[in-house]
Amino acid sequence: MNLLDVRNLTIELPTHDQQIIAVDRVSMTIREGEILGLVGESGSGKSLIAKAIVGVLNNRWKVTADRMQWMGEDLLRLPVEERREIIGRDISIIYQEPSRCLDPTAKVGEQLKESIPNSILKANFWQRRKARQEKAEGLLHKVGIKNHKRVMNAYPHELSEGVCQKVMIAMAIAKCPKLIIADEPTASLEATTRAQIFRVLKSLNQLKNTSILLITHDFEIISHWTDHTNVLYCGQLVESGKTSDIITKPFHPYTDALITSVPDFKEATAHKQKLVTLPGTIPSLEHLPIGCRLGPRCPNAKRECVIAPKMTKRQSHSVACHFPLNLTKKETIT
């Protein structure tokens, strides 16, 4: 069953001389119990999408979509109060810089306890205090923090980034959400802590059937942990499909470049060998090229590329490109 179904999500920023389209008609669906990856570089609008889903974007941004359905209810057409209630109950978000997202003036334990709603504490009001304390300790154990006493009495700055991130996850899972949006959960972490965090998320996914939307720029993480992947470039969705399909047979030149730019990822690279890259840099939002936004950097761009390509689908693997790669003559995209 589709948990979240987004069609043609567009996020615009009106400025005095032009309308900046930061996210251009992005569609995606998250099924129950699925880990969906969203890959993109900085400025591709991946965090904007996460924020648009939970509705915490600044008022200046204009969010439109054909539909944004959460279990059959269109979030964009609901009154704000109702929408907030649904999101508060079912969706949690983990931000990328945990030590900056926690309140620096309150102890970690207080913040954690605050995030546990009354409804899941099966206790009478005089027993709540104790139940809440126990629940908070249990949550910390669940995310792999053994020394709960020390952590709960500490302020965020006293803890390391990895522990802060685990606390954030504990806060996110306190209400047993149906969907966790993880926005670069491991950007600032070491390799060993990173593996721990992903193991916690994966176990949640398997034990509680929680869906996870994993936002990152690292293809290695995507390949290890996700079932389906969407690749985003400058606010346009360029490719989506099963992760294994995308990695073995990328259709879009951008995806291909991302995969081959990681040494030793798909095929072995010789020591100190030149890596494959796309020329140029990511365009800024004010100077986006028309048509396919990869156009100026794309190795096989032709005249047709000034018209934005539509999403075309082949089995469950879709791509937005006029000249997709890795297709034999017979297999034309329909």
Partner 1 sequence: MSALLEVHNLCKNYPMPGTLLYRQQITALYPLTFTLERQQSLAIIGEAGSGKSTLARLLAGVEKPTSGDIILNGYPLTEKLQRQRHKDIRLIFQDAKDSLSPGVKIGSTLDNALKLNTDLAKEERIQKIGRTLIKVGLLPEHAEYYPHMLSGGQLQRIALARALILDPQIVILDEALGALDPSIRAQIVNLLLELQESMHLSYIIVTHQLNLVKHMSDNVLVLNEGKLVESNETNRLFMSPTHEYTQRMIASRNI
Q: Which residues bind partner 1 (CB under 8 A)?
A: 41-42, 160-161, 190-192, 194-195, 198, 217-221, 224-225, 257-258, 261-265, 269, 271-278, 281-282, 284
Tokens matching residue 249: 């047979």
**Helix (H) / strand (E) containing 93:** strand 91-94
Query: Residue type for 304, please?
Result: E
Place of tokens 């003559």: 329
Min CB(96)–partner 1 separation in Å: 12
DSSP character at residue 288: P
Closer to partner 1 by Cβ: residue 173 or 294: 294
Min CB(311)–partner 1 separation in Å: 22
Tokens matching residue 72: 């059959």
| Nearest in space to 76 (alpha carbons), one of 58, 59, 55 | 55
Closer to partner 1 by Cβ: residue 3 or 258: 258
Closer to partner 1 by Cβ: residue 82 or 220: 220
Closer to partner 1 by Cβ: residue 104 or 279: 279
Min CB(256)–partner 1 separation in Å: 11
Closer to partner 1 by Cβ: residue 81 or 264: 264
| Nearest in space to 70 (alpha carbons), one of 14, 4, 25 | 4
| Nearest in space to 55 (alpha carbons), one of 87, 14, 100 | 87
Min CB(97)–partner 1 separation in Å: 12
Non-local CB neighbours of 200 within 8 Å, separated by 6+ positions: 142, 143, 144, 166, 169
Non-local CB neighbours of 329 within 8 Å, separated by 6+ positions: none
Min CB(217)–partner 1 separation in Å: 6
Tokens matching residue 275: 């890596």
DSSP character at residue 77: G
Closer to partner 1 by Cβ: residue 71 or 262: 262
> What does the CA dihedral 70, 76, 79, 84 come to, rounded to 10 degrees?
50
Q: How far apart are CA 47 and CA 213, in angstroms?
A: 11
Min CB(283)–partner 1 separation in Å: 9
List 314's β-bridge partners, or say none: 317
Place of tokens 């400058």: 234
Min CB(276)–partner 1 separation in Å: 7
Closer to partner 1 by Cβ: residue 70 or 225: 225
